Amino acid sequence: MYRPSDVAGVELKRPPVLESWNARDHPDQLRLRKFLDEVEDAFALSDADGNLVLDLHVGLPQSKPLMSGGDLDNYLFPIARRLGAQRFDAVFGTKRHGDSSTVSVTRARPVASPREADMVVRTTASATSRVWKEQVRDACALAMPVEPIPGAIGIDIEFRLSPARNWSTLWKPAIDSLGPLLGVPSPGRPFTPNDDRIVRLGLHRSLDASLGWDIVLSVWWTTAGDE
């Protein structure tokens, strides 16, 4: 696991923009590209830069509840894609009330003695399959109390995996599989959890070539009051 950035981030002129799956000429896509252009211009990263940490603080108006301010992984993924996800050992996102948003890129600093994870699972199925999500969900259900933890929540996920993998493509399916923790509004859609409840998210990468195509996920969670 790695520490969040300890430097003041660059204040963004535009509010952070969520990932878009619309057509390339859709206004959401155009707005996202303009935002990513600003982020990329803020950091002079060379081809050799690696072992970095990305830290995004999303400022939301007081009128908008933090738990309805968009999913943090959907803010982080397009930034990592633009800057190069393989550069980063960890990415962090936080939603908070404020007039501005900031982003920083710094060198990765490991946590000396992280506490034991609340949940650990080694997945063996293809990461693009429903079975992979089911393996993560089942492990989460075993680790959880009977009912999902209420209120805002902070989550850290470590992905231990082969260097050959694009780890950023695993963020969304992993979080989508944490329904026993986050709650699922529709039982018929078990992989559509209440992930906008996550107000602090840390995603960590640990490289281990011996795993082959298996992936080991370790997950830590805290309630907002414990943040």
Residue labelled with tokens 């699972």: 121
Express each pLDDT in 35-63 by its tens digit. Answer: 999 999 999 887 778 899 999 999 999 98
Q: Lowest mean pLDDT of 96-110, 111-125, 137-151, 169-183, name the range.
A: 137-151
| pLDDT tops 70 at residue 226 | no
According to the model, what pLDDT value does residue 227 have? 41
pLDDT grade for 69, boundaries at 50, 70 and 90? confident
| Stretch 130-146: mean pLDDT | 93
Strand order in the sheet with 52-60: 10-11, 102-107, 52-60, 88-97, 198-207, 153-161, 215-223, 119-123
According to the model, what pLDDT value does residue 223 have? 86
Q: Estimate the crossing angle of helix 72-83 against helix 27-42, to 10 degrees.
A: 60
Q: What are phi and psi of 37, to 5 degrees?
A: -60, -40
The CATH fold of domain 10-107:
60s Ribosomal Protein L30; Chain: A; (3.30.1330)
According to the model, what pLDDT value does residue 159 have? 98
Separation of alpha carbons 82 and 110, rounded Å = 24
According to the model, what pLDDT value does residue 225 have? 52
Does 10-107 match 119-226 in CATH topology?
A: yes
Residue labelled with tokens 């650990």: 120
Specify the pTM.
0.94
| Stretch 185-197: mean pLDDT | 92
Express each pLDDT in 172-187 by its tens digit. Answer: 999 999 999 999 999 8
| Stretch 150-170: mean pLDDT | 95
Mean pLDDT of the chain: 92
CB 152 within 8 A of CB 199: yes
What is the residue extent of each domain of the chain?
A: 10-107, 119-226
Express each pLDDT in 23-39 by its tens digit. Answer: 888 999 999 999 999 99
The alpha carbon of 21 is separated from its chain's Cα centroid by a whole number of angstroms, namely: 18
| CATH level 2 (architecture), domain 119-226 | 2-Layer Sandwich (3.30)
What secondary structure letter does DSSP report for 97? E
